[in-house]
Chains A and B, each alone.
Chain A
């Protein structure tokens, strides 16, 4: 393990160790240029398309997560939160560094398996099976999923007739029906009304007790405050601060105001949080 990883806390059970991870993805952007002959030549010489851009989404992130942790990942759009989550789930290999996990991390990404033109009822079955449940398990959980989603009679209607909040409720209800060792949640809770939000926050707490570790990517800062005990602030693929959820969220909220940001960062430092100063970090 490289020295970038903070020392492990000997009193707690680590579940995820992220060791100096770099993640990169390729985007096929504008057309290659040069028309068909050039495209054919590139194909034959196995050259990269000139339009292809490499995006360094995560650049050297290290942290440890322990059993019982609920960690909020916060940061502006494009800061690498979702990419990092995907890497922890094992769905994207790091270009450098390594991720060690105990148990199989599961991503609450069930929405991609659902079909909008089918009824909510059918989607519950489909989503449950997609997450790896057996038919018997799905049948057993079916009622509690329906009830949790709070959709009532709408459950018979096709999903495309749902409002975005209703759709989100159904997705979360399906995804949260199962307990996991390490649970990764990406923007699942930003929609939905207050009542549903309370219910889902409660469910996350339960999952955290059952599962051990929960990761939550969210722009809803209050959700992070309420459900997480720890938060990691990412900016342009690097960790800015890693510490107590409320303090990190407060500092993040104050990021446009240098003076109060300094205050919050000082408070964080005093509480023993890990801060990575942007200025002292050199590019890898």
Chain B
């Protein structure tokens, strides 16, 4: 186990270059190239604004709904992507697995880093939206740094976990997008959990708030539009989820190490 971690550390440069190259490769076919890193989230934000802000007018008691929505979508997408790309990490790199020796955890880690990179690009859009909707720049923004760090650890865990699932069950990549969509609708991304649970049983609010999808999004919203430190319980939940899922994901993936790449 210790040896495995050491080997993995020895491959850190490969992980990094592989992650960055993958992202560059996925954009290289277009005329606008790397600009799509920012354009895609920008267009996404535009669509959500059109549908939920103008057509449906689903403000539901949220002050700055557009910023609320855009932050929610992009931070949640990071978790959802970790599951979806994680489950494909082994299957889509079979050729690589079968021809070179390296600790297999390199692959889910690299896809998570690619995904993190996409989040960081979309933060440009998030900042623009937050400022344009009249929120000030405050020191609370710095909270994003630990929040994103914790979320990244959590997503690494998810990617490792689902990489093993996807390696054994190819059909998982068809099913998981539905699961992540359900997760999206139950995580208070499109609506405020506080508003939704008014007049409903207390346990429902607790369940919805403990849900990791909501935890990381809430931290980001607190930092950017609510202007306060997240309350202690949310931070503790964030730490708990990241450490817990990361340890579980790593162990589960590591136990399957010998099996990856076989048909």
Contacts and interface: CB of A to CB of B under 8 A. Distances in A.
A107 B99 CA distance: 6
Interface in A110-133: 110-113, 115-118, 122, 125-126, 129-132
Interface string A94-110: 00000000001011011
Contacts of B100: 107, 109-110, 112-113, 130-131
A145 B150 CA distance: 41
Given A126-B18, A134-B13, A158-B28, A104 B101 contact: yes
A118 B263 CA distance: 29
Contacts of B22: 115
A28 B96 CA distance: 20
A27 B263 contact: yes
B201 interface: no
**Chain B's interface: helix, strand, loop or mixed, by majority?**
helix
Contacts of A93: 262
B98 A117 contact: no
A24 to B, nearest CB: 10
Nearest to A91: B98
B175 to A, nearest CB: 12
B168 to A, nearest CB: 12
A135 B12 CA distance: 10
Contacts of B263: 25-28
B124 interface: no
A90 B258 CA distance: 11
A126 B98 contact: no
Contacts of A219: none
Nearest to A90: B101
B29 interface: yes
Contacts, number: 73
A8 to B, nearest CB: 27
A161 B125 CA distance: 34
Nearest to A24: B263
A86 interface: yes
B196 interface: no
Q: How large is the interface on B (under 10, 10 to 19, 20 to 34, 35 or more residues)?
A: 20 to 34
B4 interface: no
B24 interface: yes
Interface residues of A, number: 32
A129 B262 CA distance: 23
A112 B95 CA distance: 6
B229 interface: no
B17 A110 contact: no
A126 B101 contact: no
A91 B99 contact: yes
Contacts of A134: 13
A107 B98 CA distance: 10
Interface string A33-66: 0000000000000000000000000000000000
A92 interface: yes
Nearest to B95: A112
B102 A135 contact: no
Interface in B15-39: 17-18, 21-22, 24-25, 28-29
Most chain A CB within a 10 A radius of its CB, from B21, B95, B98, B262: B21
A237 B233 CA distance: 63
A135 B24 CA distance: 19
A130 B96 contact: yes
A90 to B, nearest CB: 7
Contacts of A122: 21, 24
B17 A117 contact: no
Interface of B: 10-11, 13-14, 17-18, 21-22, 24-25, 28-29, 93, 95-102, 261-263
Q: Which 9 A-B pairs have the closest CB atoms?
A: A109-B99, A112-B95, A129-B14, A117-B28, A115-B25, A112-B96, A117-B25, A135-B13, A26-B263
19 contacts: A27-B263, A28-B263, A86-B99, A91-B97, A91-B99, A106-B101, A107-B100, A109-B100, A110-B100, A112-B95, A112-B100, A113-B18, A115-B21, A115-B22, A117-B29, A122-B24, A130-B100, A134-B13, A158-B28
